[in-house]
Chain A
């Protein structure tokens, strides 16, 4: 089983919720989804490629007959799937240091959530409800969210330069080229293998 592919880590977590609390979580996730300002910190952290929360009510487990036994559960469940860059420790540390209020808002409705600060209890909780990935695919495993963001900036700047390259004089081009280099100069990091984790 491998949670890691190149530079990206697949985390899966499942937490139980008393059903009356599920509606609160739905409301919070709705607000989060519709108000960009609330998401800004996640964007600024810039090490998450994709992440999702899935509310799974106790009656929401697919039931397809054919001999399957229907679930009879007391709790609703909250599934969390994250695709992030960096090590497990770095990820949880950063969330605890910077996103604790937001995480508390979503996870405090889960049973026995200890709060995202202090970090050690939080890490123990995550470790308890994390389950491992059997198969993890990425179309670009050696690229992080930062690499991808940089790549799109470079592509867009290049396209602009290429569009004017033919029709300009050498000096005009040289000036435009210098401005192009300044546009992309923070975005030229090499792409290679991930640092070894543990």
Chain B
């Protein structure tokens, strides 16, 4: 099935950006600026909205000329790419975005042609679907676990390593007692917030010399 891999959905949205030479800075630059200042940590809009494993926003400036004998051509508009790897189905995800982060959606997509705003849910969903590209081939290393399950498992991994390390050589009765308590406490622990294990954001690209 296109776009889907197991329980994960590969959403690809390509939104034309408004081309208005009277806007200064131009709409594409305004988007870039907004995104550059947007947090990617637990206060990221995609941490607040449910169901996003990994997502990116990219302003596609133009296609690339690869050199003779290929022909040179240029796009007439710039486009905003939204690539998301998310849980659930498309409608649920889009509604989730509109419900929780309408302000951010509007701030970003208001620079795009024909964007109706997130307030009108149906119009918003229709707009996104009109801009949706079919994900022809979609690979997911883990395709059957939700964001919450993954965050919980990562927390568990650290906790288990610590438990094993600190209970080496314990006698069976103590071990059992402590383990039962540990397992219960771990189960009750809230899962870490999405995006929360991130390092401080830095304007650093992946250089080709590392």
Contact = CB atoms under 8 A, between A and B. Distances in A.
A142 B157 CA distance: 13
Interface in B50-81: 52-61, 63-64, 66-67, 70-71, 73, 75-77, 79, 81
Nearest to A8: B54
A83 to B, nearest CB: 5
Contact of B66 (A15, A66, A135): A15
Nearest to B139: A51
Nearest to B79: A61
B22 interface: no
> Taking chain A's interface residues, is the majority helix, strand, or loop, or is none over half, making it mixed?
mixed
A96 B44 CA distance: 35
Nearest to A64: B114
A42 B140 CA distance: 10
A85 B197 CA distance: 16
A137 B44 contact: yes
Contacts of A60: 133
A50 B153 contact: no
- Interface extent on A, as a size class? 35 or more
A64 B198 contact: no
Interface string A46-69: 101111111110001111111111
Nearest to A46: B141
Given A87-B210, A145-B141, A137 B40 contact: yes
Interface string B36-53: 101010001011000011
A134 B36 contact: yes
A128 to B, nearest CB: 6
Contacts of A64: 16, 113-114, 130-131
B183 A162 contact: yes
Interface of B: 8, 10, 12, 14-16, 18-19, 31-32, 35-36, 38, 40, 44, 46-47, 52-61, 63-64, 66-67, 70-71, 73, 75-77, 79, 81, 83, 85, 113-114, 130-131, 133-142, 145, 147, 149-154, 156-158, 160-161, 164, 171-173, 175-176, 179-180, 183, 186-187, 194-195, 197-199, 201-210
5 smallest beta-carbon distances between A and B, as pairs:
A198-B207, A198-B210, A64-B114, A151-B153, A170-B172
9 contacts: A8-B54, A52-B136, A75-B71, A112-B66, A134-B36, A134-B56, A141-B199, A188-B161, A197-B206
Given A147-B154, A170-B172, 15 more contacts: A5-B40, A6-B199, A32-B137, A39-B139, A46-B141, A50-B8, A50-B53, A52-B135, A52-B138, A62-B16, A73-B75, A134-B58, A147-B157, A174-B176, A198-B207
